[in-house]
A and B are shown apart, each in its own frame.
Chain A
Amino acid sequence: MNSFVDQLLVLVFLMNFIVLGTSRINIAIKVVAMQGMALGLVPALLHQFTLHLGLISAGMIAVKGFIIPWLLGRAIQSVGIKREDQPFLGYVPIMLIGAVATAFAFSFAEQLPLAPQHKGLLFVPAAIATLMTGCLMLVSRKKAISQVTGYLIMENGIFIFGLLLTEAMPVMVEAGALLDLLVGIFVMGIIINQISKEFSSIDTSRLTTLKE
């Protein structure tokens, strides 16, 4: 069973690279949604089935796999953009930096003073690498909507870290985090719309020239 979870985490790593390497926002959103769903499956596979775990899994899959992509899809449709044309850093350099970050995540995870039962698991490097991927997306992309996908990836990274503690994590905390995320994305969608209405572009680098 644990080996199947490992394969899912490898899939999560791969999706990090796909998001970093693709210029199409559509694909990035879909891949992040699949990443969320893959992670939603993990708690159900990791432990004995309980109602609490089932709720977390179902909530994760519904919110990250369907509702958020739908909201983001609506946002890009109303804004009318398809790709990230000119990121601050090109796609090849950013993928290479992502690969280096993943390698660092592995070596860093070895150094961390973890509980003995968590040593040698793929969870910690996966969490750190996913967090770093989210960071890279946030700093390297210009379009607000790509930055939202970066934020979602970071949240996925935090969730992977939280998986180590699932037994201790009450369902209310998990539900609260999901609700926060949902509201956050909802607000971001509205803000993106407003930015594009005001400035006829959702290029965030132009916001720095704002005056008055």
Chain B
Amino acid sequence: MTAVNTIIHLLLAITLPPLLLGVINRTKAVFAGRCGAPLLQPYYDIIRLWRKGSVFSPVTSWIFKAAPVITMATTAVAALLMPLGNHPAPLAFNGDMLLFAYLFALSRFFTVAAALDTGSCFEGLGGPREAAYSCLAEPALFFSFIVLARISSSFSLSGMLNDFPLTVWFGSGAALLLMVGALFIILLAENCRIPFDDPNTHLELTMVHEVMVLDHSGAGFAAIMYAAALKLFLLGSLFVHITVPFRSGNFLLDWLAFVAAMLLLAVVIGMVESTMARLKLTRIPQLLIAASILAAFAMLLVLRQPS
């Protein structure tokens, strides 16, 4: 049984992420009154890029070539730590949420380093921005982890998120609601979605993530795109675990519910993106600090509750 679940976990983690991007783009297209790209377009893009040759600028060093590989590898390891559906992750140990958070930090560090490595002034703008935003988003993520650890009295992602009981929502609903709000802001910020960064623009000064990967091409760029999709998938499943605590007992039904919830989340993100404008650059730290305060306040509420 565990083996079957592990195989399904791996299959979903490998195949599902680009579909989320496809669903988000389709939702945005429907909102704008267009018919939009096919749902599978991100897969085609990744395959097309994978086949192409890579061009490396002569001024870049090995960091630039290593960055896509490291980004891809760290995100793939993080995928092993995050439980999907109602099943424990293939890898689970005490404190794995720290590893989960800092694997993303490592991949971000190399993306930023590669952006600076190109020496392009344009990428020199995007790198520090990304670093600054993630600094501000990190406290919110960790406060949320503390809330989850306190509620479930477990220090591993699988323990925190699996069997997340519906009763917790009745007991400390207010704290959870605050935390869910903070997590949604983190989800959008970490994946550079719209109120923070526009994933569609390549040539505007406010963009953050896209500007850093401008110089990557071919298979390296495919790896970066895939890793970004996988990151959205993983943080999304963290969010879905808490907001949709649906447990049937039948393992197949649980998997189906999980996939449906993820697709629904993608639709919601698409709706947020089509109804909101990108924030002014100076407003972004304000929103991220608000998320941190929400999460910290949720932590205060949970900590003073006798467990």
Contact = CB atoms under 8 A, between A and B. Distances in A.
A135 B178 CA distance: 24
A14 B174 CA distance: 11
Interface in B178-233: 178
Interface string A79-102: 000000000000110011011001
Interface string B274-307: 0000000000011001100110110011001000
Contacts of B171: 3
Given A10-B301, A92-B285, A106-B300, A99 B293 contact: yes
A72 to B, nearest CB: 24
Given A10-B301, A102-B297, A106-B304, A21 B290 contact: yes
A7 B176 CA distance: 11
A17 interface: yes
Nearest to B175: A10
Contacts of A98: 293
Interface in B127-171: 170-171
Contacts of A6: 174
Interface string A88-125: 00011001101100110010000000000000100000
A96 B293 CA distance: 8
A13 interface: yes
Nearest to A18: B290
Contacts of A10: 174-175, 178, 301
A176 B138 CA distance: 48
B172 to A, nearest CB: 9
A200 to B, nearest CB: 29
A121 B301 CA distance: 11
A11 B297 CA distance: 12
Contact of A95 (B173, B174, B289, B301): B289
Contacts of B304: 106, 120
Interface in A147-203: none
Contact of B173 (A7, A17, A21): A7
Contact of B290 (A11, A95, A120): A95
Given A6-B174, A10-B301, A102-B300, A17 B289 contact: no
A55 B285 CA distance: 44
Nearest to A109: B304
The interface size bin for chain B is 10 to 19
B273 to A, nearest CB: 23
A103 B298 CA distance: 11
Contacts of A21: 286, 290
B122 to A, nearest CB: 27
Contact of A17 (B170, B174, B290, B301): B290
A66 to B, nearest CB: 26
A13 B304 CA distance: 15
Contacts of B301: 10
Contacts of A95: 286, 289-290, 293
A96 B294 CA distance: 11
Interface in A9-46: 10-11, 13-14, 17, 21
A96 B174 contact: no
A99 B297 contact: yes
Contacts of B175: 10
25 contacts: A3-B170, A3-B171, A6-B174, A7-B173, A7-B174, A10-B174, A10-B175, A13-B297, A14-B178, A14-B297, A21-B290, A91-B286, A92-B285, A92-B289, A95-B293, A96-B289, A96-B293, A99-B296, A99-B297, A102-B297, A102-B300, A103-B296, A106-B300, A106-B304, A120-B304
Interface of A: 3, 6-7, 10-11, 13-14, 17, 21, 91-92, 95-96, 98-99, 102-103, 106, 120
Interface of B: 170-171, 173-175, 178, 285-286, 289-290, 293-294, 296-297, 300-301, 304
Given A92-B286, A106-B300, A106-B304, 6 more contacts: A10-B301, A14-B297, A91-B286, A92-B285, A95-B289, A103-B300
